[in-house]
Chain A
Amino acid sequence: MNMLEASNRADVSEKPPPPNWILQHPTYQQMKSLEVEDSAQVHVAFLVYMDLTEVRQWKEVSCVKSPELQLVLLEGREKEGAPIQTILPLPAHRSLSHKSIRQVLDRGFPMLLCAVASDSTLVYQRMTDGLVTPDPPAGPFQDLGRRQHRKRRQKH
């Protein structure tokens, strides 16, 4: 195939999307139908949806309304057969109460909070009920012995 044909084919398959493509997206319209008044949160939920499905390749991602919080929540599996997780998408400048966090945790699934900045940078944070011991520091450990003390002495 010569260069001209290839570039023609490229033109045809990669037309620029219309400026309001988000509004026309079926998943966005599905989220809109949940009738959550907070439109900024719905927009953010959609951005997280796109990140999970297109970038991270999560499976079975769906949206659901939280009646207590009046927000859109996402549910999905990281991989085929993995357990379902709840994701709470929020704009980064918002505030949150511990009570709302508990309400999402009460759904019974592992929870991720996703904060979305105005430039659509996404940050995920895990929230778990109870006291989760942190991972211990990774080895291998070398016993410094007296070297450290000797170094300090030499300084003086």
Chain B
Amino acid sequence: MEEPPPRTAATSVCDSSPLAVSLCDSAPLLWRVGDLRSVRAQGLVGALLGALPRTPRQNVRLGRPLLLLPEEERLLTERHVTPPTAPSTDNQDGGVELQVQQYQEAQQRSYEEQSVLALEDRKSALLRAMTSSPTESGDESLQRRLVALESSFSFPRSAMAVQLSTARAGLSYCADARDFLRADWPIRAQDEPRRAARYQVFRDLRGRGFYLTSAGKFGGDFLVYPGDPLRFHAHFIAVCVSLDESLSLLDILAVSRLGSNVKKTVLLCSPGTDGRVAYTSLQWSGMV
């Protein structure tokens, strides 16, 4: 299956190492454990997408990468003042050549070690053969044969054992953000008014200490947790609309009824003109 090549950008954090956000098409992904940890510490949850090697055939527990919500990605870039910068290309080329040189040196060392070991092996085989047979050969002939072996022995390169890595240690991506791909960056900016409303609501609720995840299963925009989702059930289903948007009464009733069946309050959220967000809680009245 062909995937577009992953592009990377560095979102720098003021105090610690930069977060490496990889873009797969337009989906922002995090691969490194340190990045996942620091993002969770900031109260952003995301969604794990990958299969775990030891338990592949299930999707209850998933592994890396972590997919960020567009609102989470935007919050991360806003919190860190410097915009994403590409590492200089000169450095990067030097890096590759250096790696090739190091690889060849390691191969040479391995060859030398292996040839020494092979010679030792042959000698001990010869000794065993000589001493086990009951025939006349004395110490002299043994010595002669050992010397002959040493001088004539050559370890062919083709017999060398080479170790091939099937996994890259540590999942560290080479940060090879190409300059011509950087031109795509501003196009990803989202311009729908509803997305602006979503982001305002996300930032406000996050600022109040709630944790937010995607609410696709419940027909809303976000699920709002009073604390870390690993410890709490969600209290609210947030539906983000603008104040003037016309909502069908049947839709309001449907989402409110769903919320009451899953023991969550539906929250109508609209960013106001003064920068604050208006919240209206919808509850099933229970008046039969």
Contacts and interface: CB of A to CB of B under 8 A. Distances in A.
B245 interface: yes
Contacts of A90: 249
A115 B249 contact: yes
Nearest to A105: B280
Contacts of B268: 98, 101
A126 B243 CA distance: 19
A12 interface: no
B247 A96 contact: yes
A131 B248 CA distance: 22
B264 interface: yes
Nearest to B265: A134
B212 interface: no
B247 A95 contact: yes
B243 A125 contact: no
B270 A98 contact: yes
A130 B252 CA distance: 17
A105 B243 CA distance: 14
A96 B235 CA distance: 25
Nearest to B268: A98
B250 A97 contact: no
Interface string B241-282: 111111111101100100100011101101000000011111
Contacts of B263: 134-137
A132 B265 contact: yes
Contacts of B243: 97-99, 102
Contacts of B153: none
Nearest to B245: A97
A129 B280 contact: yes
A49 B237 CA distance: 32
Contacts of B241: 98
B191 to A, nearest CB: 21
A90 B279 CA distance: 21
B287 interface: yes
B284 interface: yes
B236 to A, nearest CB: 7
B256 A125 contact: yes
B281 A93 contact: no
Chain A's interface: helix, strand, loop or mixed, by majority?
mixed
A137 to B, nearest CB: 6
B283 A95 contact: no
B287 A56 contact: yes
A129 to B, nearest CB: 6
A102 B280 contact: yes
A97 B248 CA distance: 9
A124 B280 CA distance: 16
A128 interface: yes
Given A132-B265, A133-B265, A123 B280 contact: no
Contacts of B235: 131, 133-134
A36 interface: no
B285 A97 contact: no
Contacts of A105: 280
Nearest to A56: B287
B247 A97 contact: yes
A95 B249 contact: yes
Contact of A125 (B236, B248, B252, B278): B252
A112 interface: yes
9 contacts: A92-B249, A92-B250, A96-B247, A102-B243, A112-B285, A126-B283, A128-B283, A133-B226, A133-B265
Interface of B: 226, 235-236, 241-250, 252-253, 256, 259, 263-265, 267-268, 270, 278-285, 287
Given A95-B248, A125-B252, 18 more contacts: A95-B247, A97-B245, A99-B243, A101-B280, A102-B278, A105-B280, A124-B285, A126-B283, A126-B285, A131-B265, A131-B279, A132-B265, A132-B283, A133-B235, A133-B265, A134-B236, A134-B263, A136-B263
A-B pairs, 3 with minimum CB distance: A132-B281, A124-B285, A95-B246
Interface of A: 56, 90, 92-99, 101-102, 105, 112-113, 115, 123-137
